[in-house]
Structure 1
Amino acid sequence: MAKKESFIKGTLILAAAALVARVLGLVQRVPLDHLFNDVGRASFSVSNNVYLMLLTIATAGIPSTLSKMVSERYALKRPGEAQRVYHAALLFAAFMGVIMTVLLYFAAPVYANYIKVPESALAIRALAPALLLFPTIAMMRGYFQGRHNMSAGGISQIVEQFARVGTAILLAYILLHMGYNDSWIAAGASFGGVLGSIGAFAVMMYYTVKIREQDRKLVLEAGADAKLPLMGIYKDIFTLSIPIVLSSLAVPAVNFIDSSIVNTLLTGQIGQAKATQLLGILGNRAQSIAGIPPILAIALSTSLIPVISAAFARKDEAHLKQQIMLALRIAILTGMPIVIALCAAAYSVNGLLFASLDGSWIIMLLTFGTIFQITMMTTNSILLGLGKARLSMVNVMIGIVVKLIVSYILAQWIGIYGIIAATGVCFLFITLLNLRMLKVIVPFSILDKRWMSFFSTVILTGAVGYGLNEAGIQLVHVMPARLAFLITSLVVGGAVVVVYLVLLVMLGVLRQQELTSYPRILQKILRPLMRLQPSRFNSSKTEGN
């Protein structure tokens, strides 16, 4: 039997793959922004948000459910049943791949015209063939996770992203220099998703060939298993996976909604050309920058989810309360300085990375709202860890309805900023619903009486960051603009992190006696700073635990 990887090693492999995928997805936006005009940015943003939403549907929930079903059957020495579950999943994936590809291809022009970005139809159609393989790839990844082989899924994800991003940039560059218009250039960039799916599928097939003989031997050794009915298999898969899929759709669904409503709501106010420009900025610039703050915060907080699940399973309420509080506290405290830095330096970051300075306020406002995205994703993960996927699903669905309603109301008053504000309201609303559910399960407090100290830290740090940014951008008068923006971004980022940490300690948001409960990497950063903490915080009883 193949050597099983440890749980920790497997988790690290999947986390690293997810991190690489997220970073590459952000990196590709920068060169593409320089290759596109307004129409190209809007078209690629629309197709990319369609891609990310459909990818979430194909890869969230079902692979983990399949992994659980396969792992259980191999543990019970029923490899024949595991193979039948896997083959049933592959059959469904192949069928859904064809259906989704055909529907997307023929629906693309209808959808593009409906959202008043008709130029995006080509880019959406260029993406359609990727859906032939993605459902199958997702099932294969789930199967290999069930066999305790995390490398297969992790490596396939990394190869997929490198192939997708590399192809997108290369094809866009070639088509631009061949004289094609921006609709075709955006389509070339979108076609990277197809090459990414082929790369991922090739990796999964390599691992499938490697394990095939071993699977055959295990089935022969175990003898004949009872035949499982197909409909029973599908019922088990969907009962477990659908709530997880719908819970995972919050962010991609919100981005998809924005792609769908910006031109529809704003064309009457500012004209189609301006609305298309704003859609391109929102999708290609703001959404990519806003994707940065959740990376570290979610990675740190979700590392505690297995501990939370274990505490809940053994009914250890005290430990469960502590771990939920810790997960939320880490998510907020580690996500906030990145949000502050990017908001304070939005103008400089925009000038450094992208083709123009248009949309700096859009970037700042959307990035500010990601603190609520962080709390939403963390509380969703905790609910999933507690086996409350249905509650999480319901809350996400309610939040998406709130997003639509608030967008339509605020867009009439403040245009694009109303649509962006509605995104923050949506994430905050889901967070509050999730917290309400969690506190029914176990009462807890995140920061208790320290909220005022925390808000003071945020305001003071933001003021320092904004002041440094305003001073730094004056450097454009004495040196090349991009160099000035680079220096300013680095100075603001460094200063915000230092000031934020110092204020957290000095104002007592973080306490010496709590350090041992935090992940080791945070302990190493914070321990030297604790010398700055006034003695009254060290001697007082810890609050909020």
Structure 2
Amino acid sequence: MGTVDKKNNRQSDSLLKGALILSVGGMVVKVIGFLNWIILSRVLGGEGIGLYQMAFPIYLLALSLSSAGIPVAISIITAEKVAHGDYQGANRVFTLSLKILALSGFVLSCGVYFGAGWLIENQIIRDPRAYSAIVALAPAIFFVTMLSSFRGYLQGWQMMTPTAVSQIVEQLFRVGAMLIFASLLLPQGLEYAAGGASMGAGAGAVAGLLVLIFYYFRLQRNLVNSSIGEQNVNSEGSAGIVRRMVKLAFPVSMASLMLPVVSNLDLFIVPVRLEAAGYSVEEATELFGYLTGMAVPLLNLATIITAALATSLVPGLAEVKSIGNKLQIKQRTAAAVRLALLVTVPASMGLAVLATPLASAVYHAPEAGPIVQIVAAGVCLLGIHQVSTGILQGLGHTTLPVVNMGAAALVKVGLNWTLTARPELGILGSAWATNADIGVAAVLNMVFVYRYTGFRLNFTGAVKIIFAAIVMSSVLFEANSIILRTVDALTAIFADMIIAMGVYGVVLLFLGELTEQDLQRIPVAGRYLVRFAYASRLYKR
């Protein structure tokens, strides 16, 4: 029994290690992007950001159509074949998918480039100044589609480092190009500056693709040198692989499409309903920028770890399911949900407390504060949704997330249409609709996670986490007002974060919710935290 426990712990550690690698990479990417967004928002202002955000949903929609869920299918099928020693089959999966994605990426890239004018002429994009941004994003679709194929394959081998490194390189080149081209084109007009910012997506995608190609060839070289690819396994034929890929990819693609579809619905509904509430076109564009370009990025920044965990869960659970280990499925599910709560509950409360100070310090737009405060409630919901989607996809139930997201989207559309047009709410109504969309999808996902894994939430642990987050938020509220008297707003935010993490961690240790194993898994600081816990008699020897 001890051997089984050790094996399960190693597998759980492997899962968390993969999530940690992606989290660190994601954190670096987000910090770079966040700093870029601060500078870019000051260069372009709310109106310029609004123009960029009007083009971005079109890009996301085309990108989802071009990849059609195939990267997740690659990850799942590759993980299964690697688990059974079918390495030649894993390579065949990648080769077939790369050909499919190259074709679809090229077609969609051309479609967006040549269809930009049609979108403007038919009032699908209400502000004609967004044309340059749409056209500039078109080439990136092809390169990002190709890049996703390499990421899916390498993640199927549960190699998360290539994804993390490529994301960082991609973001560095993307940010550099965005700032350079936006600044150079700003004298030509705001619409050209927004188009210049959009050009960064293509530059970043090319750089990230080159990194992944390097890792791919290094993996192939290692396989040849170790003769690992010469095992005698009855490999699945190309036709069978394509059928399985389509079966897995279609529902995943529908789920992936829901994000840009909902974004496009926001684009079509929110500005129109804001105008119905009495705002001008320019005011509606600015408010739309506050929500989608300022509040939502903060929401995504707060869920880096859960997004990384969801990515790591897919191949990990696919591998465990292929060998029939039901106990490990339940353990991994419980560990993932617990980690999601540990991270997102305090992040949600902290963002609500610091909403206006963050909007002022980061964007120089205190007007966005009330929107950020409402969207903060969606942090915890989004974390649960991300993790539960990863669980269901890893178990092969790829249809369920898209059905749940579709139901949630209908709720959001109804709320956007009714709440946004109310003068007393306006853009705040859209923020509440965003929370409702995420919440409905998360709850429906968890219903099916319970059905297929038998997972039960540890309510005692959840209550401890919530209590610790409440204590943290109370201290944070008082600390922020005191710190702001001595330092500038941006420095105060960093100080607030350090205080918040310290208070939250100490309360969790006092309540016994953070175990010694939890602390030891923390890189660098883990062993020192364990010593602190014993020295403070929070742990007993």
TM-score category by the smaller chain?
0.7 to 0.9
RMSD of aligned alpha carbons: 4.2
* SS across alignment from 2:367: coil
The letter of the residue matching 1:419 is: S
Distance in 2, matches of 1:10 and 1:332, equals: 19
The alignment-based identity, stated in percent, is 25
> 2:149 maps to what in 1?
139
Per-residue deviation, 1:294? 0.8
Matched, 1:288 2:289: no
* Kept after mapping to 2: 8 A contact 1:17/1:155: yes
Task: Report the Cα distance in structure 1 between the residues aligned to 2:314 and 2:295, rounded to whole angstroms.
Answer: 30
Query: Does structure 1 residue 95 correspond to structure 2 residue 103?
Result: yes
Superposed counterparts of 1:60-209, under 5 Å: 61-66=69-74, 79=88, 85-112=93-120, 113-143=123-153, 153-176=163-186, 179-204=187-212
| CA separation of 1:532 and 1:511: change in aligned 2, threshold 3 A | farther
What TM-score do the two structures reach when normalised by structure 1? 0.79
CA distance in structure 2 between the aligned counterparts of 1:415 and 1:291, rounded to whole angstroms: 22
How many Å separate the matches in 1 of 2:509 and 2:331? 20
Partner of 1:341: 350
The answer on whether the counterparts of 2:310 and 2:391 sit within 8 Å (CA) in structure 1 is no
Select between 347-356 and 85-94 the one with higher mean Cα deviation: 85-94
Spell out, residue by residue over 1:125-149, the C-alpha distance to the aligned partner (whole angstroms, 9 max, x if none).
Answer: 1101112333223234445556787
Q: Does 1:371 align with 2:380?
A: yes
The answer (yes or no) to whether the contact 1:33–1:41 under 8 Å persists in 2 is yes
Say yes or no: does 1:40 pair with 2:48. yes
Which of residues 484, 492, 498 is equivalent to 2:496?
Answer: 492
SS at match of 1:28: helix
**Aligned residue type for 1:372:** L
Structure 1, residues 486-529: CA drift from partner, whole Å, max 9, x if none? 343234323333333444455x4x447x6547773279647845
Worse-matched range after superposition: 179-188 or 330-339: 330-339
Q: Are the aligned partners of 2:350 and 2:473 in contact in 1 as well (CA < 8 Å)?
A: yes
Output the CA distance in 1 between the equivalents of 2:267 and 2:139.
21
- The answer as to whether partners of 2:347 and 2:379 remain within 8 angstroms in 1 is no
Separation in structure 2 between the aligned mates of residue 71 and residue 313 of structure 1, nearest angstrom:
9
Q: Distance in 1 between matches of 2:293 and 2:257?
A: 20
Give the match's secondary structure for 1:114.
coil
Please show how residues 71-470 of structure 1 align to structure 2 within 5 Å. 79=88, 85-112=93-120, 113-143=123-153, 153-176=163-186, 179-204=187-212, 233-248=241-256, 253-269=261-277, 270-299=279-308, 320-413=329-422, 414-449=425-460, 454-470=465-481
Distance 2:377 2:437 in 1: 13
* Unpaired segments ≥5 residues, structure 2: 1-12
Q: Distance in 1 between matches of 2:248 and 2:75?
A: 12
- Note the alpha carbon deviations across 1:298-346, whole angstroms, 9 max, x for none: 4467767777667666666666545433321221122222222222122
In structure 2, what is the Cα distance between the partners aligned to 1:360 and 1:338?
16
Structure 1 unaligned runs (5+)?
1-5, 539-545
Please give the alpha-carbon distance, in whole angstroms, between the structure 2 residues aligned to 1:39 and 1:147: 44
Q: Name the count of aligned residue pairs.
A: 516
18, 24, 27: which is aligned to 2:32?
24
Pair 303,527 (structure 1): closer, same or farther in 2 beyond 3 Å? farther
Deviations 1:61-120 (A, max 9, x none): 4234335556777876784x7666544433322321232122212333444532423221
Q: How far apart are the structure 1 equivalents of 2:193 and 2:451?
A: 52
Is the 8 Å Cα contact of residues 255 and 405 (structure 2) preserved in structure 1?
yes
Distance 1:207 1:82, change over 3 A: same
Once residues 126 and 233 of structure 1 are traced to their aligned partners in structure 2, the CA distance between those partners, rounded to angstroms, is: 35
| Aligned-pair CA distance for 1:292 | 1.8
Greater Cα shift, 122-131 or 43-52: 43-52
Give how far 1:436 is off.
1.4
Secondary structure of the residue aligned to 1:395 is helix
Shift in CA distance, 453/207, structure 1 to aligned 2, threshold 3 Å: closer
AA of the residue aligned to 1:433: L
